[in-house]
Amino acid sequence: MLPADTLHPAASSPAGFAAGTGPSILICRPNTRLGNTLLLTPLVEELQNALPSARIEILSACPAATEVFQGFTAVRRVHTLPFRGVRHPLSYLHTLFGVWRTRYDIIIDPCPNSWTARFLTRWFVAGLKIGFAIPRRHQGVDVSVAFEDAPRHMGAYPVYLARRALFRLDADSSRADEVTLSIRLTAAERARGKEALCGLLAQQGGPVITVATHATGAKRFATDWWRRLIGELHTRVPTARFVEIRPPSGQASLPELPGYSSPRTREVAALIDAAECFVCADSGLMHLGAATDTLTVGLFKVTLPQLYAPRRGRSCALTASDAAPETTAAQVAQLLG
C-alpha cells in the first residue's frame, strides 16, 4: 500500500477525510467493449489497494460493466450509458447529467485516444483531473503524463497514469509491477461454474479445454481451422475434453462439442475458471478468461500482443497462422504440460 503522503495534494477532500472516508474518484471510460472494460480492472485494483477507503465510480457504455466491477468493494456505483446512445438520447443525457451533478475529488481519464472521455472529463466537476498528455488533447486535466513513457499494454498504462499523476511516483517505480486483470469471482460463483461444467461433460477424463471461436473481422479464424486445431490437440492430449463457449444467442460454431452460453458475464467467467485451459482469438472473451485463474491462450494474427495480450498467471498470447492450426495446437499442448 502506498504511503498516504504520496497522494497528490489537490486530490484530498477535507470534509470527506474528516468523516473518515477516502477520496471520491470517477474513472471516465465511456466505451462499449467488454475487453476494454476488463482492461480497467488493474487500475481499479491499484486504487482500491492504495486507497482502501476510496469511493470509486465508473462511467462506462459497456452493458456488462456492472458485472465486471461487482467484486470490487471500493466501486460504489457504475454509471452505464445506453449501449447505442444515439438511439436513446434522453437516457444518455440523463446518465451524463447525473454524473455532472456530483463533485468528485478526482477524475481519471485513463485513455490516451478517446475524444469523448476527454470532453466529458473537462465537463464534469472535480478537485483534480488527471490524464495523458496527447497532442491537441492536453487541455481538460490538471495533471497530465506523457504517454510515450508509459507501458504499451492497455491494462498497464492506466495504472502508470495513476502512479505518476496521482501518487507522484517516478517513471521507473510506476512501471515496476506486472499488472493483472481480475473479475474477482466469489467462492460461490466458482462452485456454480464447476457444477455447470460437470453437467456438460458426460464422463470423467483429462483436462477440460474451453474454446471460443467468435471474434470480430480479421481477428476471426475459420470454423475448419478450429476443427483442425482441436483434432491435433486430441492427438497430443488424448484425454482432453472440449467445451465451446458460445455467444448469448447460443449459436454453435462447433455443434459437435458440448456448448455453454449465458447472458451473464460472470457466469461465463465462472465456467471458464473451472476449466484447465481456455483458447480463443483476441476478443473480449479472451480478456474475460484472462481475468480468471485459468490458463488463457489468446490467438493473434492482426492485432498487437504488446497491447492486448492476456495478463494473469501463465496466460499468454500466441501468434497464429490461418494456414497452420497444427502448429498452434502443439504450442497449446506444451503449455498444458
pLDDT at 14: 39
pLDDT-derived band at 112, boundaries 50, 70, 90:
very high
Share of the chain above pLDDT 90, in %: 83
Could you give the C-alpha distances from 1 to 5, 45, 163, 164, 167, in angstroms and in order?
12, 11, 12, 15, 11
Mean pLDDT estimate for the chain: 92
Residue 114 phi, psi (nearest 5): -110, 110
pLDDT at 138: 59
Mark which of 108, 141, 174 sits at the end of a domain: 174
96: cell is: 451524463
- Same-domain status, 139 and 236: no
pLDDT-derived band at 159, boundaries 50, 70, 90:
very high
Could you give the C-alpha distances from 240 to 28, 159, 325, in angstroms and in order?
43, 38, 17
- Same-domain status, 195 and 131: no
Handedness of CA 139, 141, 147, 152 (dihedral sign): negative
Residue 320 lies in a domain: yes
- Same-domain status, 170 and 191: no
Mean pLDDT of 37-56: 96
Answer whether residue 168 shows pLDDT above 80. yes
- Same-domain status, 143 and 246: no
Number of structural domains, the chain? 2
Answer whether residue 313 shows pLDDT above 90. no
CA angle centred on 254, ends 249 and 258, rounded to 5°: 80
310 neighbors 241 (Cβ within 8 angstroms): no
- Same-domain status, 147 and 193: no
83: cell is: 449501449
- Same-domain status, 41 and 67: yes
pLDDT at 5: 53
Residue 227 lies in a domain: yes
pLDDT at 16: 43
Strand partners, 133: 146
**The dihedral formed by the CA atoms of 105, 106, 107 and 113, expressed in degrees to the nearest 10:** 160
Answer whether residue 84 shows pLDDT above 80. no
Residue 179 lies in a domain: no
Grid look-up 463457449 returns: 245
The model's pTM is: 0.93
- Same-domain status, 115 and 197: no
- Same-domain status, 154 and 240: no
Read off the CATH number of the domain in which 286 is found: 3.40.50.2000
Helices (runs of H) and strands (runs of E) counted in the chain: 14, 12
Mark which of 125, 148, 174 sits at the end of a domain: 174
Identify the domain containing residue 308 by its residue range: 187-336
Give the separation between CA 146 and CA 259, rounded to whole angstroms.
46
- Same-domain status, 200 and 164: no
Strand partners, 146: 133
DSSP state for residue 6 in the 8-state scheme: G
Answer whether residue 13 shows pLDDT above 50. no
- Show Cβ contacts of residue 37 under 8 Å, excluding neighbours closer than 6 positions: 29, 31, 60, 62, 64, 65, 68
Residue 182 lies in a domain: no
- Same-domain status, 136 and 193: no
- E-only strand ranges, the chain: 24-28, 55-60, 75-80, 103-109, 125-133, 143-146, 208-212, 241-245, 259-260, 277-281, 295-300, 316-319
268 neighbors 296 (Cβ within 8 angstroms): no
pLDDT digits (tens, 9 = 90+) for 122-148: 999 999 999 999 776 557 899 999 999
